[in-house]
Amino acid sequence: MDVFEAIRSRRSTRAYQDVPVDDDALNHVIEAGRFAPSGGNNQTTHFLVIRSRQLLDELADLVRTEFSKMDVAEGMYRSLANAIRAAKSGRYVFHHHAPVLIVTANRIGYGNGMADCACALENMMLMANGLGLGSCWINQLHWLSESEAVCAFLRRLGMAENEQAFGALSLGHAQTSDGLPAREPLPRTGNPVTFIG
Amino acid sequence: MDVFEAIRSRRSTRAYQDVPVDDDALNHVIEAGRFAPSGGNNQTTHFLVIRSRQLLDELADLVRTEFSKMDVAEGMYRSLANAIRAAKSGRYVFHHHAPVLIVTANRIGYGNGMADCACALENMMLMANGLGLGSCWINQLHWLSESEAVCAFLRRLGMAENEQAFGALSLGHAQTSDGLPAREPLPRTGNPVTFIG
């Protein structure tokens, strides 16, 4: 797929088929992430690729439990407040039942951690779209990056002691009639541009 | 250009020809940035597109002055330390004399400010590469986001009182024999991957 088309037609997929992602496609998505730029060419983004249904279910339960302990506060970021409300209701699966979750971790205290992980996530979303796969930025593990239980879970999966989760990607075949992600571009009414000179 | 090729072959360009970027290409790059995802679809990334050579020179002088007031400290991020040393030497043009600098600003205190701007910057870098233009992530205005003088300068250009710079992009024709950016992919020896399940 042409790069501009991949960028313009990328959409967030929040419902997935219960169908695995084939290895070749998955490896292309991961390689796209690994080829993202990094501050000072540090290349310290760590990709944790979770495909075990059992582990994904356990992590969803853990995330629900952690959010359900929190309270919605005034002025709180809307998406976080929504996550807490949904978790308290007992129906909340943060990764949308995707068959693959790719956690992007980076060094604790590294000033470009979020920037580097975000570039990797964006590359992976574009590559997924180019391959006809759906994906969505998953922010919940970043919001819970100070949760000891979530950290301990991710460390058991291979996240190092000096790393924290900055974001994640859900990935899979979209639950749509043709199995492809929605691609009608959403209009951009915000993201203003000011031309100077 | 194919999306995977655009991702794989993207490189940082740090030397530019003194040739303007044509409006059609520039608009494609900006649109690519505007189509980046944003937290909760907020669309609050503000693109300040600076093309005036005089303003770019003034900003380079200001950035050099601000860095030259700072001291290199032990444990400081290497690229920042290098910027301070170069500024103190008097030879430092943070935007590499690019004919266009696109500053990505976002709301102060917005938790996804860096993530949203990083996705926009990555999209613009990929689009630039697809169009045969060179580009480079410019972190200096982010490092100086608490400098009153830099803030005041950017506010004069249109950055709102409730916004700060999270990053920027230098953009232009690469100073290479064929005028195209280097595209031989740099190897990724870092950015490790852990497969789970």
pLDDT digits over B36-69, tens only? 999 999 999 999 999 999 999 999 999 999 999 9
Of chain A, the percentage scoring pLDDT greater than 70 comes to 100
Give residue B97's region: left, alpha or beta (phi > 0; psi -120 to 50): left
pLDDT band, residue A112 (cuts 50/70/90):
very high
Distance CA A90, CA B192 (A): 35
Contact B197 A139 (CB under 8 A): no
From the list B38, B79, B196, the residue facing A50 with the nearest CB is B196
Phi, psi of B86 (to 5 degrees): -65, -40
Given a cut of 90, whether residue B1 has pLDDT beyond it is yes
Contact B32, B126 (CB under 8 A): yes
CB-based contacts of A155: which residues, under 8 Å, 6+ apart? Answer: A161
Distance CA B39, CA B105 (A): 15
Contact A1 B6 (CB under 8 A): no
pLDDT band, residue A35 (cuts 50/70/90):
very high
Query: Tokens standing for B69?
Result: 């007031």
Given a cut of 90, whether residue A91 has pLDDT beyond it is no
The owner of tokens 């967030």 is: A12
Query: Tokens standing for B105?
Result: 């600003």
Contact A194 B119 (CB under 8 A): no
pLDDT given for residue B119 in this prediction: 98
pLDDT given for residue A197 in this prediction: 84
Distances (CA, A) of A87 to A59, A90, B34: 13, 5, 32
Q: Is B70 on the interface with A (CB under 8 A)?
A: no
Q: What is the dihedral of CA A192, A195, B2, B8, to 10 degrees?
A: -100
- The Cα of A98 is separated from the nearest Cα of chain B by a number of Å equal to 14
Closest to A6 in 3D by CA, of A131, A99, A159, A109: A131
Contact A190 B78 (CB under 8 A): no
Contact A34 B191 (CB under 8 A): yes
Distance CA B163, CA B137 (A): 19
pLDDT given for residue A89 in this prediction: 95
Given a cut of 90, whether residue B91 has pLDDT beyond it is no
Start-to-end CA distance of chain A, whole Å, equals 34
* DSSP single-letter state for residue A111: T
- The Cα of A80 is separated from the nearest Cα of chain B by a number of Å equal to 10
Q: Is B54 on the interface with A (CB under 8 A)?
A: yes
Given a cut of 90, whether residue B197 has pLDDT beyond it is no
For the whole model, what pTM was predicted?
Answer: 0.97
Q: Is B78 on the interface with A (CB under 8 A)?
A: yes
Phi, psi of B156 (to 5 degrees): -60, -30
Interface-testing mutation among A122, A124, A127, A131, with chain B (most B C-beta atoms within 10 A): A122
* DSSP single-letter state for residue B41: G
From the list A33, A50, A190, the residue facing B42 with the nearest CB is A190
The owner of tokens 């979303």 is: A125
pLDDT given for residue B133 in this prediction: 98
- Mean pLDDT score of chain A, rounded to an integer? 97
Alpha helices in chain B (DSSP H): 3-9, 23-34, 53-68, 78-89, 113-130, 140-143, 148-157
Task: List, as ranges, residues 123-142 from B with C-beta within 8 Å of A.
Answer: 123, 125-127, 129-130, 137, 139
Distance CA B8, CA B10 (A): 6
Q: What is the ipTM of this complex?
A: 0.97
CB pairs under 8 A between A and B: 210
Contact A132, A183 (CB under 8 A): no
Contact B193, A30 (CB under 8 A): yes
* DSSP single-letter state for residue B181: P
Distances (CA, A) of B126 to A6, B165, B196: 11, 21, 30
pLDDT digits over A47-82, tens only? 999 999 999 999 999 999 999 999 999 989 999 999
Given a cut of 90, whether residue B105 has pLDDT beyond it is yes
Q: What is the mean pLDDT of residues B76-99?
A: 95
Query: Tokens standing for A91?
Result: 């129906």
pLDDT given for residue B189 in this prediction: 96
- Residues in chain A with CB shorter than 8 Å from the CB of B54 are 197
Given a cut of 90, whether residue A141 has pLDDT beyond it is yes
Given a cut of 90, whether residue B92 has pLDDT beyond it is yes
Q: For residue A27, what is the enclosing H or E element?
A: helix A23-34
Q: Is B52 on the interface with A (CB under 8 A)?
A: yes
Residue of A187 and A97 predicted with greater confidence: A97
pLDDT given for residue B13 in this prediction: 97
